[in-house]
Structure formats: C-alpha cells, structure tokens
C-alpha cells in the first residue's frame, strides 16, 4: 500500500478514535500491553534479524545495544502502555466557557489533533511509546522508523494490529511505513490534507530534513547544545557536581551539557578542583586560548566546537569576563534547549533566567532534569525546542488542539 493510501486510512480511523470514551481507549491500551507480553517471541525473532544485519554492517556496540530487544525490554514496553492508560485523558476538557450577552454559549474544549506522523531513528521502543501516547490522546499515528530496526518495528506493529483487532480502536489507527525508500518519507512531509503534525525524533540531520522539507506543521524536538555557566560567585562543590552530572550521567542524551562557560575569576581561583574533577571523570576538554593555559591536556577549540553536540564525554570550555559575555555566547551557539547558571549571586541568576531564551533555564541544578518523567509529566513524546504550541518536555496535552463550540438559538450578528 502506498503512503498516501495509508494516510487516508489513518485519517478515517482517527474519526472513529476521536469519539471513543476514555475507558474504551484505556482498555485497548491495557489489552495491547498484555498482547505484546504474550507475543514477545515473535518480536524477538524479528529483532534477531535486525541484529544480524547490524553485525554485518559493523554497527557500534552502543548502537547494537539500543537496537537489541529482550523479554524484559518487551515487558518494559507493556509497562509503559499501562502507565499511559493511567494518565488523565487530555481530550474533552473544557478549558473555558462563557455566554455572550445575546445568549450564545461558548466552550473552548480540547480535542485530538487527528493524525500524527512520527519519524524516528533506531530505538524500537519509540514504536510502542509513541503509539500509546497517540492512541490515548485520540490520535491515529503513522510510524516511520529507522531502517536498521525495520524488522523489529514491523513485528511490533503486527502484534499491535492483532491486539487492536480485539478492541474498540480500529487497527488502521496505527500505520507503519515499511518502505525504506526516502521518497516514502518525503511523501509524508507534504500531505497536509491527511496528516496534522509531524514529529521527528533523532539526530540533528533528521530533524533538519523534516523542518526544511515539510509543509505539514512540525513539532521540532530535541537537539541540545546545553551550557553550564559557572559564574564568578559559584559555589565550587555545586559547580563541579552539576558540571560532572550534566556531562557524564548520560552523555548521549539531549539534556546533557556540551559546553562549560566559565568566569575567568572563578576559573583562576578553582582551576585545581576543576582539573581534578575533569580528569577523574575522563572528560576531554576543547578550550579557548585562555583555558589552554589553565587546563592541562586541553585541545584548542575551533568554531565548530562551540556549536557541537558531542554526545560523548568531550566538552567545550569557554572562559568569559562577565555574565553578559556568557549570555551572548549561549545565545550565539545554544539550541534553546536547557541552559544552567551556577552562582550564589541572586541578581546574576535572575538576569540569566530572564534573558536567556531557552525551553528550560536552571539556577544551581543540572540540565539533566529537562525530561518528562523527571518533571512528573508521565511519558513524553519528545522535548520541543521550538516556541510555538509546545516548548520543553511534551506530554499528552501537546498531542491535542482546541475547538470552539458555540451553542445558540438562532443568534445572528
């Protein structure tokens, strides 16, 4: 089936899904969870094919680990679906209501977006997570996963389709693009009639390709070139703990720190403690010329280092004369994701939080908290780095829109 036909099917299914009750959707999600657990062997068999292909292609160990499934991982998928079933239904809420002088009643209510196009890379867990969030919020979903996980994703979708057949949610509400042809994805980018939003999740190149080529509205997610700014008056212990945590806790995620911006006075006073911490944690420094004279073993940073999302234990280090220079650096190279200041100076922290333009601003805490589950949102569909519709971690409400419902008795203007 071609992608347009799939999108039309998804749109039709979304109309049926839209009118289901919360209970009917929750029952379907729980049934899906049970079904995935029951059919886990089918999924693991397909996953074995992807792993074999990956080994042939010489993929990295980290990549193979993300690709690899097990009975436990499938059980985690099911657990995720059961958690989503427990969350509040984001649709059908009356956000406000009022009556005009002429008696016309106005209600502003939340409704599903319709059809979500999800474009993502390797991890097969996105196939289940995104489906759960879409269905719970009353949306159909079109899944386009990475080619390296295609057998796993196809098997997961097959199992979900079989499971949905026994529920009130039409199977057609979950569409999987099996083609690895780039043209298939590109078709998805411009089907404004059938697709209401595209959500790309993955590396910067994938996201750029979607933003540049799509006429369907895009919810841009997650490239994070996050900075820790250590101010003149930063507490040494806090600064070092936050830096090490933000850099090394999970270097490959988007809320990890990529650049340390440091006040020269602080650096001069605390270089020993800093160098010690960097060495202990195997952090490789790319520094400016001043930093080179203070941190042994640093390599000279070029323009590309300031913009780089290393996703490793490398870090760029920029020394500054004051907070104004720090903010200017962050504005130039940041991706408006998460930015932190470490300082005991309240005025400095206020300036930073007010002036820096990003989804999440931190005073004396690690950037690692920009995460739906850490903030208590339940599951997240991604972290938005754009300003419209949703910014920061996106939970279920990001998958809804509103309608004005007007009830009258013949009112005219």
- Residues lying near a copy of itself in the complex (CB under 8 A) are found at 15, 18-19, 98, 100, 104, 106, 113-114, 196-197, 211-212, 215, 217, 219, 235, 237-238, 241-242, 245-246, 249, 349, 353-355, 357-366, 368-370, 374-376, 386-389, 391-392, 401-413
Token pair of 255 as six digits: 């809320």
The whole-angstrom separation of Cα 44 and Cα 30 is: 21
Nearest CB to a copy of itself, comparing residues 145 and 392: 392
Nearest CB to a copy of itself, comparing residues 96 and 293: 96
Shortest Cβ distance from residue 99 to a copy of itself (Å)? 10
Nearest CB to a copy of itself, comparing residues 146 and 392: 392
Please say whether the beta carbons of 284 and 314 come within 8 A. yes
Please say whether the beta carbons of 102 and 409 come within 8 A. no
Nearest CB to a copy of itself, comparing residues 5 and 406: 406
Shortest Cβ distance from residue 219 to a copy of itself (Å)? 7
Shortest Cβ distance from residue 400 to a copy of itself (Å)? 9
The whole-angstrom separation of Cα 61 and Cα 80 is: 25
Nearest CB to a copy of itself, comparing residues 205 and 403: 403
Shortest Cβ distance from residue 334 to a copy of itself (Å)? 11
Nearest CB to a copy of itself, comparing residues 217 and 296: 217
The whole-angstrom separation of Cα 231 and Cα 264 is: 9
Nearest CB to a copy of itself, comparing residues 31 and 263: 263
The whole-angstrom separation of Cα 402 and Cα 167 is: 27
Residues in a beta bridge with 257: 226
Token pair of 89 as six digits: 């239904």
Residues in a beta bridge with 116: 141, 197
Shortest Cβ distance from residue 201 to a copy of itself (Å)? 17
Nearest CB to a copy of itself, comparing residues 78 and 207: 207
Please say whether the beta carbons of 18 and 168 come within 8 A. no
The whole-angstrom separation of Cα 158 and Cα 139 is: 19
Shortest Cβ distance from residue 237 to a copy of itself (Å)? 7
- Across the beta sheet with 284-287, the strand order is 299-300, 284-287, 314-320, 257-263, 226-230, 338-342
Shortest Cβ distance from residue 46 to a copy of itself (Å)? 34
Shortest Cβ distance from residue 242 to a copy of itself (Å)? 6
The whole-angstrom separation of Cα 261 and Cα 229 is: 5
Short-list 88, 117, 130, 82, CA closest to 380:
130
Residue 169, H or E segment: none
Shortest Cβ distance from residue 10 to a copy of itself (Å)? 14
Please say whether the beta carbons of 141 and 207 come within 8 A. no
Short-list 257, 312, 306, 251, CA closest to 284:
312
Short-list 351, 292, 291, 283, CA closest to 315:
283
Nearest CB to a copy of itself, comparing residues 29 and 242: 242
The whole-angstrom separation of Cα 333 and Cα 76 is: 37
Looking only at the bridges linking them, the beta strands covering 392-394 and 382-384 are antiparallel
Shortest Cβ distance from residue 387 to a copy of itself (Å)? 4
Nearest CB to a copy of itself, comparing residues 183 and 412: 412
């Amino acid at each position: 089936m071609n992608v347009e036909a799939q999108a039309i099917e998804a749109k039709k299914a979304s109309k049926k899904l839209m009118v289901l009750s919360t209970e009917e959707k929750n029952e379907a999600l729980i049934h899906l969870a049970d079904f995935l657990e029951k059919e886990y062997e089918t999924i693991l068999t397909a996953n074995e094919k992807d792993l074999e292909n990956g080994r042939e292609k010489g993929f990295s160990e980290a990549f193979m680990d993300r690709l690899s499934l097990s009975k436990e991982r499938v059980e985690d998928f099911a657990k995720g679906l059961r958690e989503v079933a427990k969350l509040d239904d984001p649709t059908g809420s009356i956000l406000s209501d009022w009556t005009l002088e002429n008696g016309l009643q106005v209600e502003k209510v939340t409704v599903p977006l319709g059809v979500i196009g999800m474009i993502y890379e390797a991890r097969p867990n996105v196939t289940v997570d995104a489906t759960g969030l879409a269905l719970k919020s009353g949306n159909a979903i079109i899944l386009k996963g990475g080619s390296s996980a295609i057998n796993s994703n196809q098997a997961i979708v097959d199992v979900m389709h079989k499971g949905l057949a026994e529920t009130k949610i039409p199977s057609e509400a979950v569409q999987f693009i099996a083609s690895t042809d780039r043209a298939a994805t590109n078709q998805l980018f411009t089907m404004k009639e059938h697709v209401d939003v595209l959500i790309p999740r993955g590396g910067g190149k994938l996201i750029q390709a979607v933003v540049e080529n799509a006429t369907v509205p895009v919810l841009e997610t997650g490239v994070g070139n996050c900075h820790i700014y250590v101010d003149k008056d930063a507490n040494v212990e806090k600064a070092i703990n936050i830096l090490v945590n933000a850099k090394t806790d999970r270097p490959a995620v988007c809320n990890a720190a990529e650049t340390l911006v440091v006040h020269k006075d602080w650096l001069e006073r605390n270089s020993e403690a800093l160098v010690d911490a960097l060495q202990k944690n195997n952090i490789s420094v790319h520094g400016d010329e001043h930093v080179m004279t203070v941190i042994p073993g640093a390599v000279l940073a070029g323009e590309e280092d300031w913009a780089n999302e290393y996703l490793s234990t490398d870090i760029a280090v920029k020394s500054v004369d004051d907070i104004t220079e720090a903010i200017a650096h962050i504005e130039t190279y940041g991706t408006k994701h998460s930015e932190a200041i470490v300082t005991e100076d309240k005025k400095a922290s206020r300036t930073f939080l007010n002036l820096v333009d990003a989804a999440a601003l931190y005073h004396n805490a690690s950037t690692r908290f920009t995460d739906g589950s850490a903030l208590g949102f339940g599951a997240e569909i991604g972290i938005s780095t754009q300003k419209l519709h949703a910014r920061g971690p996106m939970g279920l409400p990001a998958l809804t829109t509103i309608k004005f419902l007007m009830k009258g008795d013949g009112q005219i203007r």
